[in-house]
A and B are shown apart, each in its own frame.
Chain A
Amino acid sequence: MLAVVGTVPDPEFPLIHGRVDMEGDQLLISGHRVPVHRGTPALLASAVRISRTIGGPELYAFLVGDIGKGDGSRRLYQFLTQNLSRFSFEVMTFHYLQPDVDWHNRVLFAIETMKPRPVLIADAGFMYAAKMSGQAAMYDYFTPDVGELAFLADESAPHPFYTRGFILHQDNKAPDLIRRAYQNRNAAGYLLVKGKTDYIACETGIIETVDYPSCNAMEAIGGTGDTITGLLTVLRGAGFGPAESAILAAKVNRWIGRYADPTPATQVSELIDKIPQAWSTVSEMEPSGLPD
């Protein structure tokens, strides 16, 4: 089973955890219906769609309501530190959570008690905290966009809001930023960098770039980064190799864009519907096929 940890933009939403299912365009978790917009629900929806498409593992979610005050995130952090040792997951993905270094460290400590230790993916706010904690190398994947990559490359920035200008200006030099992030030990084992060109990299360098098909409007659509992280979660959990799962996730996400033919006004829920079609195209092009 694979786990996703994140938030729902509703202050009244309680702390829940349970298996994830989808009915129509809503997620069903522990008796709660969650509409799919952007953020963690978009990640979960893409994960469920790709898992159903490939016959992949089940999803389990830990969710709480938080609109940025951090109260929900802190309750969830506390729950995780007290209870993670009794769970077992192949992959755990941490997403839209209030960046808080102290709580991050406590959660990471709790993860170390899990048997076996899950593959760890961090995106969004939890990736910010992971970088700031100085423990980025404990993670298997970070999934930044190019702006967030600049933040990872800036050893003194505690949040993308403070990325120094001379680093931010290197937007078109992702390879340099990747190198700098690894030099400063602010990158996970693998980086899946989302942008006009997607980069899959590790400490020894860039493994592959993915730039086809290309759709400029995707950058404007909130949630396209969430869908790629959802795809990565399931593909890695389904047994694809560490680099291969990231490459496949990048390719499927691009074909989603091709099939949805989006404008900058398209909403992410319209893209998620195209996952089965996108997977079909990518898997036909990939010689490796599904893992045994």
Chain B
Amino acid sequence: MFGFLKKKKSESMTTNSAASVGRGFLVFENTSEVIQAENLLAGSGWTVRVMGPPPEIQTGCDLVIEFPLIEELNIVRELENAHIPPIQVVPVTAPLLTPVNLFHTTDFGLYLMVRAANMKITIDKKDLRIVNISGGGCPDVPYLAREMVGKTLMDVPQPRTLGHTLCGYALELAYQELCKQCSL
């Protein structure tokens, strides 16, 4: 059924072919499940990475989890036990898209803003309170802003526990970078 995944190789995409030898990727129903699965697998010590799927299975807001193929049985079993089974397990035969890993920091004096991809999070330096969230275009952005603005970095729920989209995931990266810069 998924043989079509092998039919096309995009040369223009960012590659990680050296690192992909013996790797596979897990496809899930939606981004929420990807985030849950990554939390579970990373927490269990598996070497996994969140990546972008090849063009053949892109729908618009996708993530997949790259994992060591030799561990397929163990990883799938763990996911099934957690009731988040992947809908497909596919060997990496084409380059996967690499998520943005660049951060941009703006110091406003009393406030500090960190941007990851298209998402920005701003805190009041005095008490580390989140004062604004901007950027992004997926529908969880206004929801994440509603849940996070006004709370401090210490007591806010992590975006990865609330978000469901790539914008939510980008906000998680910005949040982690901000925590790092604030030595949390």
Q: Which residues of A contact B (CB under 8 A)?
A: 7-9, 37-41, 66-70, 72-73, 96-102, 104, 123-129, 132, 145, 147-148, 151, 155-165, 168-169, 171, 216-217, 219-225, 263-267
B166 at the interface (CB under 8 A from A): yes
Instruction: Assess whether A100 is in contact with B59, with CB atoms less than 8 Å apart.
Output: yes
Count of chain B residues near A, Cβ 8 A = 57
What is the number of contacts between chain A and chain B, taking CB atoms within 8 Å? 197
Instruction: Assess whether A67 is in contact with B139, with CB atoms less than 8 Å apart.
Output: yes
Instruction: Assess whether B106 is in contact with A124, with CB atoms less than 8 Å apart.
Output: no
B75 at the interface (CB under 8 A from A): no
Q: Which 6 A-B pairs have the closest CB atoms?
A: A68-B140, A124-B137, A39-B142, A68-B164, A99-B60, A9-B143
Instruction: Assess whether A72 is in contact with B139, with CB atoms less than 8 Å apart.
Output: yes
Which residues from chain A contact B106 at a C-beta distance below 8 Å? 216, 219-220
User: Whole-angstrom distance from the CB of A68 to the nearest CB of chain B?
Assistant: 2
User: Whole-angstrom distance from the CB of A164 to the nearest CB of chain B?
Assistant: 6
Q: Evaluate whether A217 and B108 lie within 8 angstroms (CB atoms) in the complex, with A37-B145, A161-B100 already known.
A: yes
Closest to A72 in B: B139
Partner of B145, one of A38, A156, A265: A38
B93 at the interface (CB under 8 A from A): no
Q: Evaluate whether A265 and B97 lie within 8 angstroms (CB atoms) in the complex, with A37-B142, A70-B61, A99-B61 already known.
A: no
Which residues from chain B contact A267 at a C-beta distance below 8 Å? 132
Instruction: Assess whether B134 is in contact with A159, with CB atoms less than 8 Å apart.
Output: no
Which residues from chain A contact B14 at a C-beta distance below 8 Å? 162, 164-165
8 other A-B residue contacts (CB within 8 Å) besides A156-B13, A158-B62, A219-B106: A67-B164, A68-B165, A96-B138, A126-B137, A148-B137, A161-B52, A161-B99, A264-B111
B113 at the interface (CB under 8 A from A): yes
Instruction: Assess whether B115 is in contact with A222, with CB atoms less than 8 Å apart.
Output: no
User: Whole-angstrom distance from the CB of B38 to the nearest CB of chain A?
Assistant: 14
Instruction: Assess whether B100 is in contact with A129, with CB atoms less than 8 Å apart.
Output: no
User: Whole-angstrom distance from the CB of B94 to the nearest CB of chain A?
Assistant: 12
Instruction: Assess whether B137 is in contact with A96, with CB atoms less than 8 Å apart.
Output: yes
* A-contacting residues, B111-146, CB 8 Å: 111, 113, 115, 117-118, 120, 122, 124, 131-146
* Sample (7) of A-B pairs whose CB atoms are under 8 Å apart: A7-B139, A9-B143, A67-B164, A96-B139, A162-B98, A220-B120, A263-B110
Q: Which stretch from B39-47, B84-92, B167-175 is at the chain A interface?
A: B167-175
B102 at the interface (CB under 8 A from A): yes
Which residues from chain A contact B131 at a C-beta distance below 8 Å? 220, 264-265
B58 at the interface (CB under 8 A from A): yes
Instruction: Assess whether B102 is in contact with A132, with CB atoms less than 8 Å apart.
Output: no
Instruction: Assess whether B60 is in contact with A68, with CB atoms less than 8 Å apart.
Output: no
B24 at the interface (CB under 8 A from A): no
User: Whole-angstrom distance from the CB of A165 to the nearest CB of chain B?
Assistant: 6
B158 at the interface (CB under 8 A from A): no
Which residues from chain A contact B13 at a C-beta distance below 8 Å? 156
Alpha-carbon distance between A290 and B132 when the two chains are bound, in angstroms: 35
Q: Evaluate whether A66 and B134 lie within 8 angstroms (CB atoms) in the complex, with A98-B60, A265-B111 already known.
A: no
Which residues from chain B contact A168 at a C-beta distance below 8 Å? 100, 102
Which residues from chain A contact B164 at a C-beta distance below 8 Å? 67-70
Instruction: Assess whether A102 is in contact with B59, with CB atoms less than 8 Å apart.
Output: yes
Which residues from chain B contact A41 at a C-beta distance below 8 Å? 142
User: Whole-angstrom distance from the CB of A277 to the nearest CB of chain B?
Assistant: 22
B10 at the interface (CB under 8 A from A): yes
Instruction: Assess whether A123 is in contact with B137, with CB atoms less than 8 Å apart.
Output: yes
Q: Evaluate whether A98 and B61 lie within 8 angstroms (CB atoms) in the complex, with A160-B118, A216-B108 already known.
A: yes
Q: Evaluate whether A163 and B117 lie within 8 angstroms (CB atoms) in the complex, with A68-B164, A99-B61, A101-B60 already known.
A: yes
